[in-house]
């Protein structure tokens, strides 16, 4: 079936199998930041923004993207750059495998709630599993990033 | 799950007609269904039917089956109706991205014994609206199911609860609950719903004057099954404690 949608703000039109999940379609288009980490719909690594809303692309049938807008990390480099660099300097990441999903969902969080409490950060990122860090580094990294922005250090 | 045809009906009547066809599945959010190892002929997608709205009507609050769990937990109308309990109940489900995809209809249709969503809406006294059978109490739907029908809406009674409490236990954050309980008080009626996975949800109504005995009485009728998440004894203990807390929260001692 034919699917037409906006991928990172650029129109895309292609044929896809009826049951193809969005993650497979995106990876076939070279969006390699989108990864399947768990096969159980729980890890958050395949997060993309569908009409600005963070969703798990592993569970969205690609056909549902028809007529909609999909943003992946490849299309959000400018918005992610400052944050990702800051977090790396904080040593919040370890192996980095979960990083693309974590960055995508942090972007969604900060768009929805630019000044979250630590509790709100934890709640919003609960669906991004990380097997290295125990999450403390990431929460601390986001907190320090937000503080640095508030204090004009960025 | 694989399917040969992805069909997007434009009317509920069309979707209901499709639901009668053999080898056909109705898609919700596709969160767990996608993991099934089978191929079906037709997958019917409800995303174009306008079933993604939460509306106040003369009858109560009408919620479309395609409303996401995230919409439920952030709806000012539902937050006010439940005094915030809807958010407390649904936030522990996996993560924000999951709840943006998972639908109310998908969570109810499966009649899962582990569903926080089912527990909440049953306790609140909801009705389900089926395209074929019409409006039926959710308790009846949970008991009997509705094969080949199509769930289109959930309707909450106009009168908000006087008090409502949800208590669940998870072995680890974001996991399935071992047990979920909800207690809803409206006037003299106290409704208790318990989802003791893997057994189906159980609901019983009590008089508010019997509140001190509720936890003890409902335990006589509840059936538990041991599972990988917890032993029978642990589940019974959790149920007694969580129901007791719920009853206390709605005004019992």
The answer to whether the CB atoms of B4 and A59 lie below 8 A apart is no
Question: For residue B42, what pLDDT is reported?
Answer: 97
Q: How far is B66 from chain A (nearest CA, A)?
A: 13
CA distance B61 to B54: 7
How confident is the model over A1-28, as a mean pLDDT? Answer: 96
Residues A87 and A60 occupy one common structural domain: no
Token pair for residue B182?
Answer: 């909800």
Q: Per-residue pLDDT for B47 more than 70?
A: yes
Q: How far is B204 from chain A (nearest CA, A)?
A: 32
Question: For residue A154, what pLDDT is reported?
Answer: 84
Give the list of residues 6+ apart from residue B84 with CB closer than 8 angstroms, or none: none
Domain boundary among A46, A72, A98: A72
How confident is the model over B8-13, as a mean pLDDT? Answer: 97
CB contacts, 8 Å: A58 with chain B: 34
Residues A55 and A83 occupy one common structural domain: no
CB B185 within 8 A of CB B176: no
Domain boundary among A47, A72, A97: A72
The answer to whether the CB atoms of A126 and B101 lie below 8 A apart is no
Residues A88 and A146 occupy one common structural domain: yes
CB B182 within 8 A of CB B123: yes
CB B202 within 8 A of CB B193: yes
CA dihedral (B52, B53, B58, B60) positive or negative: positive
Residues A49 and A80 occupy one common structural domain: no
CA distance B253 to B250: 9
Q: Is A13 helix (H, G, I), strand (E, B) or coil?
A: strand
Region of residue B209 (phi > 0: left; psi between -120 and 50: alpha; otherwise: beta): alpha
Domain boundary among A72, A102, A120: A72
Residues A49 and A103 occupy one common structural domain: no
Residues A41 and A94 occupy one common structural domain: no
> What's the total number of domains in chain A?
2
Question: For residue B194, what pLDDT is reported?
Answer: 95
User: For chains A and B, what is the number of CB pairs under 8 angstroms?
Assistant: 79
- Domain spanning B163-249 has what CATH number? 3.30.390.50
Q: What are phi and psi of B112, to 5 degrees?
A: -75, 135
Q: What is the CATH number of the domain that holds A121?
A: 1.10.150.120
How confident is the model over A78-85, as a mean pLDDT? Answer: 92
Q: Per-residue pLDDT for B46 more than 90?
A: yes
Range of the domain at A102: 76-150
CB burial of residue A57 (10 Å; 0-12, 13-18, 19+)? buried
Give the single-character DSSP code of A4.
E
CB contacts, 8 Å: B92 with chain A: 126
Closest CA to A40 of B113, B37, B38, B31: B31
CATH class entry, domain B54-157 = alpha beta
Question: For residue A133, what pLDDT is reported?
Answer: 84
Residues A49 and A93 occupy one common structural domain: no
CB contacts, 8 Å: A56 with chain B: 31, 97-98, 101
Residues A11 and A66 occupy one common structural domain: yes
Residues A105 and A139 occupy one common structural domain: yes
Confidence tier at B7 by pLDDT (50, 70, 90): very high
Helical residues (DSSP H) of A14-98, grouped into ranges = 22-28, 77-90
CATH 3.30.465.10 domain position(s) in chain B: 54-157
How confident is the model over B5-28, as a mean pLDDT? Answer: 97
Q: Is A114 helix (H, G, I), strand (E, B) or coil?
A: coil
CB contacts, 8 Å: B34 with chain A: 21, 41, 58-59
The answer to whether the CB atoms of A56 and B32 lie below 8 A apart is no
Confidence tier at B236 by pLDDT (50, 70, 90): very high
- The 3-class secondary structure across chain B, one letter per residue, is CEEEEEECCCCHHHHHHHHCCCCEEEECCCCCHHHCCCEEEEEEECCCCCCCCEEECCCEEEEECCCEHHHHHHCHHHHHHCCCHHHHHHCCCCCHHHHHHCEHHHHHHCCCCCCHHHHHHHHCCCEEEECCCEEEEHHHHHHHCCCCCCEEEEEEECCCCCEEEEEEEECCCCCCEEEEEEEEEECCEEEEEEECCCCCCEEEEEEHHHHHHHHHHHHHHCCCCCECCECHHHHHHHHHHHHHHHHHHCCCC
Interface of B with A (CB under 8 A): 1-6, 8, 27, 29-32, 34-35, 43, 45, 47, 91-92, 94-98, 100-101, 173-174
Residues A80 and A137 occupy one common structural domain: yes
Residues A66 and A93 occupy one common structural domain: no
Question: For residue B138, what pLDDT is reported?
Answer: 97
CATH 3.30.390.50 domain position(s) in chain B: 163-249
The answer to whether the CB atoms of B6 and A19 lie below 8 A apart is yes
Q: Per-residue pLDDT for B253 more than 70?
A: no
Q: How far is B25 from chain A (nearest CA, A)?
A: 12
CB B19 within 8 A of CB B44: yes
Interface of A with B (CB under 8 A): 1, 18-19, 21, 39-42, 44, 47, 53-56, 58-61, 63-64, 105, 108-109, 123-128
Q: What's the angle, vertex CA B58, arms to CA B109 and CA B11, rounded to 5?
A: 45
Q: What is the CATH number of the domain that holds A58?
A: 3.10.20.30
- What ipTM was predicted for this assembly? 0.96
Q: What is the pLDDT of residues A126-143, one digit of tens each?
A: 999 998 888 889 999 999
């Amino acid at each position: 079936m034919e699917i037409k949608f906006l991928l990172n703000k650029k129109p895309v039109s292609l044929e896809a199998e009826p049951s193809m999940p969005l993650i497979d379609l995106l990876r076939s288009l070279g969006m390699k930041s989108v990864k399947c980490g768990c096969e159980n719909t729980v890890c958050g690594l395949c997060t993309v923004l569908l009409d600005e809303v963070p969703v798990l692309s592993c569970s969205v049938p690609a056909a549902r993207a028809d007529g909609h807008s999909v943003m992946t990390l490849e299309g959000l480099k400018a918005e992610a750059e400052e944050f990702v660099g800051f977090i790396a300097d904080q040593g919040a990441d370890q192996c980095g495998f979960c990083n693309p999903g974590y960055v995508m969902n942090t972007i969604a969080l900060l768009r929805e709630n630019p000044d979250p409490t630590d509790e709100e950060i934890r709640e919003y990122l609960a669906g991004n599993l990380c097997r290295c860090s125990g999450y403390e580094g990431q929460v601390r990294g986001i907190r320090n990033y937000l503080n640095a922005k508030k204090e004009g250090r960025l | 799950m694989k399917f040969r045809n992805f069909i997007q009906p434009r009317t509920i009547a069309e979707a209901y007609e499709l639901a009668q066809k053999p080898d056909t599945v109705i898609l919700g959010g596709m969160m767990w269904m996608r993991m099934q190892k089978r191929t079906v002929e037709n997958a019917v997608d409800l995303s174009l039917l306008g079933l993604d709205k939460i509306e106040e009507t003369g009858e109560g609050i009408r919620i479309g089956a395609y409303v996401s769990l995230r919409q439920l937990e952030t709806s000012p109308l539902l937050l006010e109706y439940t005094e915030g309990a809807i958010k407390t109940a649904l936030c522990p489900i996996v993560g924000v991205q999951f709840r943006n995809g998972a639908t109310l209809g998908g969570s109810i249709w499966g009649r899962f014994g582990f569903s926080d969503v089912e527990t909440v809406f049953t306790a609140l006294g909801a009705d389900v609206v089926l395209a074929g059978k019409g409006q039926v109490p959710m308790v009846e739907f949970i008991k009997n199911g509705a094969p080949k029908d199509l769930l289109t809406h959930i309707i909450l009674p106009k009168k908000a609860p006087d008090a409502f409490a949800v208590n669940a236990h998870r072995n680890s954050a974001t996991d399935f609950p071992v047990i979920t309980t909800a207690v809803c008080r409206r006037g003299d009626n106290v409704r208790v719903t318990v989802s003791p996975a893997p057994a189906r949800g159980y609901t019983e109504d009590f008089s508010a004057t019997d509140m001190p005995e509720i936890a003890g009485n409902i335990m006589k009728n509840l059936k538990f099954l041991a599972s990988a998440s917890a032993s029978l004894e642990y589940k019974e203990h959790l149920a007694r404690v969580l129901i007791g807390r719920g009853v206390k929260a709605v005004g019992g001692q």
